[in-house]
Amino acid sequence: MRPQDVQEEDEASSHNESPVELSLGCPLLPASAEIGSVNSEVCRRGIDVNTVLVDGDTAQGRSNLLTSSLPEEFPVQHQAADQEAAEDEENSGAGAGARKKLRLSKEQSAFLEDSFKEHSTLNPKQKSDLANRLNLRPRQVEVWFQNRRARTKLKQTEVDCEYLKRCCETLAQENRRLQREVAELRAMRTAAAATYPFYGFSTARVCPSCDIKNTPHSPAGITTPSAVVAASPSPVLTPLFSRPHLVPFTVHPVLRRQPSATS
DNA sequence: AAGGTCAACACGTTCA
DNA sequence: TGAACGTGTTGACCTT
């Protein structure tokens, strides 16, 4: 038996079919506001967009009916048990294969987010505690965390991509500057060799940019661009060493320490 | 209608 | 070997 079969078996009785959300919508708005604002931005997160409007079933009526039996903390959310019962009803009506869109409420999402900030993975106890607290099935909590990790990773990938693009641009710019510098040095050497043909000009002692950048702290004598950079880090290169990190708990694979053979 | 979001799913991989 | 996880996909719903 495959692992997922276990999970799916676990769910099969409750949500393999279309889960029907029993909540009514944004608890922060009066019932009268819900009717005309199902699609509004304000209510989008808090509302159950799957609420089935039945003829003669007013928002106020449903509100009274449902909130009276719901826990205080998350007063309008899915109740796992009620949900299962509702699914049976649903299956008798709509096609059993149809997957209904289920939206977590604002409160549920916020609570899950807070939990995610504390730990991005769940142990079984945390999962069941969260599920109980939010009136969700453990599988729903698990799926939410899976998806949340995926979103985090995607975001981090985007940030990394932007960062690498900037690095690339910076390095290209630096490369162009160094190429120009090399060209200038070659020109200087050629000119010097032409002027003083018997004086050894195989190497330049100070390059143009170093000449400009040399500070009292810099050692006299032979100066290289890298020495200048080391002595006073170029603002151009600084961003290369300050990679942005979106979240504290993910480590990009590239930056993971490779196991070394010696240590 | 197109494109985005997100819960849910399917399946492969890893690890104890 | 099973649980947990990562990743890609699906489908319902929403916005523009």
Banded pLDDT at A89 (limits 50, 70, 90): very low
Confirm if A138 and A127 have CB atoms less than 8 A apart. yes
Q: What integer pLDDT is reported at residue A3 of this predicted model?
A: 36
Question: What is the spatial distance between Cα A219 and Cα A227, in angstroms, rounded to a whole number?
Answer: 9
Whether the beta carbon of A19 falls within 7 A of nucleic chain B: the reply is yes
Q: What is the pLDDT of residues A157-181, one digit of tens each?
A: 888 888 888 899 999 999 999 999 9
pLDDT above 50 for A236: no
pLDDT band, very low/low/confident/very high, at A244 (cuts 50, 70, 90): low
What the block records as the tokens of A127 is 């999962």
Residue A139 Cβ under 7 A from any strand B atom: yes
Tell me which of A68 and A157 has the higher pLDDT: A157
pLDDT one-digit tens code per residue, A133-145:
888 888 888 889 9
Task: Look at residue A126 and tell me whether its pLDDT is greater than 90.
Answer: no
Task: Using DSSP, state whether A11 is helix, strand or coil.
Answer: helix
Both structure tokens of A200: 């050894």
A121 touches strand C (CB under 7 A): yes
Give the position of tokens 């495959």. A2
Percent of chain A scoring above 90 in pLDDT: 9
Does the C-beta of A109 come within 7 A of strand B?
yes
Residue nearest to nucleotide C10 (CA to C1'): A99
Q: Which positions 82-101 on chain A have a beta carbon less than 7 angstroms from any atom of strand B?
A: 99, 101
The candidate with the shortest Cα–Cα distance to A140, out of A151, A127, A149, A154, is A127
Residue A37's Cβ-side half-sphere holds a number of Cα atoms within 13 Å equal to 18
Question: For position A161, what pLDDT does the model report?
Answer: 82
Provide mean pLDDT across the span A25-42: 30
A16 touches strand B (CB under 7 A): yes
Which of A175-179, A184-188, A239-243 shows the lowest per-residue confidence on average (mean pLDDT)?
A239-243
Lowest mean pLDDT among A31-40, A123-132, A155-164, A227-236: A31-40
Nucleotide at minimal C1' distance from the A44 CA: C14
Distance in angstroms: CA A134, C1' C4: 22
A140 contact to strand B (CB, 7 A limit): yes
Bigger pLDDT: A185 vs A113: A185
A146 touches strand B (CB under 7 A): yes
How far is residue A103's CA from residue A118's CA, in Å, rounded to a whole number? 23
Q: What is the mean pLDDT of chain A?
A: 57
More confident residue, A192 or A46: A192
Per residue in A202-214, is it b (16+ CB within 10 Å) or e — as a string? eebebbebbeebb
Higher pLDDT, residue A240 or A230: A240
Q: How far is the CA of A9 from the C1' of B1 (A)?
A: 38
Nearest nucleotide from residue A15 CA, by C1' atom: B8
**In b/e form, how buried is each residue of A36-74, taking b as 16+ CB within 10 angstroms?**
ebbeeeebeebbbebbbeeeeeebeebbeebeeebeeeb
Q: Is residue A149 pLDDT above 70, yes or no?
A: yes
Could you report the per-residue pLDDT of A198-207, keeping only the tens digit for each? Answer: 665 554 455 5
Show which positions of strand C are touched by protein (CB under 7 A). Answer: 2-8, 11-15
As a dihedral over the C-alpha atoms of residue A114, residue A115, residue A121, residue A122, rounded to 10 degrees, the angle is -170
Rounded to an integer, what distance in angstroms lies between the CA atom of residue A132 and that of residue A96?
27
Question: Which run of H or of E encompasses A108?
Answer: helix A106-118
pLDDT value for A217: 43
How many Å apart are CA A204 and CA A97, to the nearest integer? 79
Residue A53 CA to nucleotide B3 C1', Å?
Answer: 27
- Residue A256 pLDDT: 36
Which residues in chain A, range 151-210, keep a C-beta under 7 Å from any nucleic strand C atom? Answer: 153
Which bases of chain B come closer than 7 Å to a protein CB? Answer: 6-13
| A223 DSSP assignment | B
The pTM for the full model equals 0.53
